Amino acid sequence: MADSPEEIKSHFKQYGIVGGILFLGTVLTVAVATVPALDIGGHGFDKSDAILGMFIATVKASLVAIIFMHLNHEKKAVYWIFLGSLVFGAILIALFALAMYDPITFDGLLPTMPGQ
């Protein structure tokens, strides 16, 4: 922790810089979704724009966790837990993506009522 006024001032400067980066990230996310010149996929908001927006959001969430939640001062176990949650989140996203290509259907699985 900061013990002297100089250390506290350096933390305020760091928080200001990170806050500015977060603000610019928000502006960039909105610009990617709305400005046609920054449209990287097809016309309008599509999958590639969503992927870029999620990447920007991931960077912003990591900055918040590392700087504002003070994970940069934690033990290695906290880093493994944080990394594990990111890995499990990526696995869940991959499972949802795979479900789009192999949907569950109930054709022939449900019993039919007599007379139908």
Q: What is the pLDDT of residues 32-83, one digit of tens each?
A: 888 888 777 777 777 888 888 889 999 999 899 888 887 777 778 877 887 8
**pLDDT for the residue 88:** 95
Alpha-carbon gap, residue 39 to 88, rounded angstroms: 30
Give long-range contacts, CB 8 A cutoff, 24+ apart: 9-18.
14/67, 15/67, 15/68, 18/63, 18/67, 18/68
**What does the mean pLDDT of the chain come to?**
81
Quick check: 31 pLDDT over 60? yes
pLDDT given for residue 112 in this prediction: 65
Q: What is the pTM of this model?
A: 0.59
Q: Which of 4-8, 22-26, 61-65, 109-113 has the lowest mean pLDDT?
A: 109-113
Question: Which pLDDT score is estimated for 60?
Answer: 94
Residues 16 and 25 sit within 8 Å (Cβ to Cβ): no
Helix axes 47-63, 5-34, angle to 10 degrees: 170
